[in-house]
Amino acid sequence: MSIIEKLSVTAVRNIDGLDIEPIPTVNILHGENGSGKTSILESIHLLASGRSFRTSKLEPLISSDKDEAIVFARLVGGKEIGLSKSRRQKHHLKFISEKQTNWENVARELPCQILDSNSFLLLEGGPKSRRQFLDWGVFHVEHGFVENWRRTKKSIANRNLLLKQRSPDLSQISAWDSELCLAAKEVHRARQEYFDVFLPLFLELYRKMNGAEVDSLVIDYASGWDTGRELQDVLMDNRDIDIRYGATQNGPHRADLTFKIGRNRAVDILSRGQQKILVSTMKITQGLLLSQALDRKCIFLVDDLPSELDHDNREAILSQLVSMGGQIFVTCVEISGILDSLSSQPKLATFHVERGTITA
């Protein structure tokens, strides 16, 4: 089970030293803006993925008067995960006392989804955020995906280096084309199979949550090249263009999800509140698919749920999250905004956060 029973955080933003023992159901973190609530969610996300959901930079993550941030979690069952992020040295990640060279094992053990203001990037941001969303789901249900994904990334990086040369070596480009095509075929297959399962479940849940424009919303997956043709042929036909730009224009690194209502982009039609329901439903759907595929639940980190949502929509999201039976961490300024939106009576733990410490 992916349940945190003890969490310790040191020197993450304004958190000097914090220890909490969350419960397996709903954990409410409440306090004034800037108190450190979101930093607790950020610490969990950092431990689970190696990344912050608030910034790509290291400097603001570590407390200004410290050189190292530390996050530790003990899971139900006794497994322990520890991470130290330093300004001057490479990070150190341990899982069950063993040093990890990447986040693959930890990410599988501690699957986390974040619902926050950046979730809107799924609709209004660039393709990268949508690929990351799709690949998160594929990663957790197909173990071979990550190796093929790494092969495509390596192939494209080496191909791009060759394309940038003054006199590109066409034989070497062809060699990397072959490697790329083999891996890209498997990446595309895995993404397509996942999307084919994801879409009907999402639409069913979106209708249940009274999502806007449910009958006219169309979501499509695009592979990143014309799949009516072999990628090898596409790369060959576009080689001169790739050389001109110094970058590979077709491949799985160009994959995307599109959201349309009629002929218009969904982001241009839906209000901010309606968009929040849509992206929240997408992430909840991924949690459901993970539970169906694996013997574990997704941990949901919910930052400032009341923002841009009325009472009924807050209740719909919280009710669905609670019904999934996983661990939830939710932040708010006024705790009443969450308590009033809980239609059921799950077991709750509340933590009042003030200046980076738990006061009650």
Using one digit for the tens of pLDDT, what is the confidence trace for 243-299? 999 999 999 999 999 999 999 999 999 999 899 999 999 999 999 999 999 878 999
243 occurs within a structural domain: yes
| Mean pLDDT computed over 200-219 | 95
> pLDDT tens, 87-123?
888 899 999 999 999 999 999 999 999 999 888 889 9
Mean pLDDT computed over 307-315 = 85
Q: Can you tell me the distance from the alpha carbon of 17 to that of 10, in angstroms, rounded to the nearest whole number?
A: 5
Please indicate, yes or no, if residue 158 is contained in any of the structural domains.
yes
Read off the pLDDT of residues 210-246 as tens digits, 9 standing for 90 and up.
999 999 999 999 999 999 999 999 999 999 999 999 9
Is residue 350, in this structure, part of any structural domain at all? no
Domain assignment of residue 343, yes or no:
no
Q: How many domains is the chain built from? A: 1
Structural domain contains residue 78: no
Angstrom CA distances, 285 to 2, 33, 200, 291, 293, stand at: 17, 30, 10, 10, 12
Least confident range from 61-65, 91-95, 137-141, 192-196: namely: 61-65
Task: Identify any residues that bridge with 27 across adjacent strands, giving them in sequence order.
Answer: 329, 349
Distance CA 221, CA 199 (A): 10
For residue 35, give the 3-state DSSP assignment: coil
pLDDT the model gives residue 304: 87
| Confidence band, pLDDT 50/70/90 cuts, at residue 310 | confident
What is the predicted pLDDT for the residue at 2? 87
- Whole domain around residue 237: which residue ranges? 120-295
Q: How many other C-beta atoms lie within 10 A of the C-beta of residue 29?
A: 28
Q: Residue with structure tokens 């059921």?
A: 344
Cα–Cα distances (Å) from 135 to 5, 191, 203, 348, in that order, read: 28, 7, 19, 32
> Binning pLDDT at 50, 70 and 90, where does residue 349 land?
very high
Asked if residue 48 belongs to a domain, the reply is: no
pLDDT at residue 1 greater than cutoff 70 = no
Mean pLDDT over 139-162 rounds to 96
Is 338 inside a domain boundary? no
Question: If you average pLDDT over every residue of the chain, what do you get?
Answer: 94
Mention every residue, 6+ apart, whose C-beta is less than 8 A from residue 184: 152, 231, 251, 252
Q: Give the pLDDT band (50/70/90) at residue 46.
A: very high
In a domain, 262, yes or no: yes
Least confident range of 54-58, 239-243, 331-335:
54-58
Q: Is the pLDDT of residue 58 over 80?
A: no
Q: Is the pLDDT of residue 309 over 90?
A: no
pLDDT of residue 305: 81
Which CATH number do you get for residue 199?
A: 1.20.1050.90
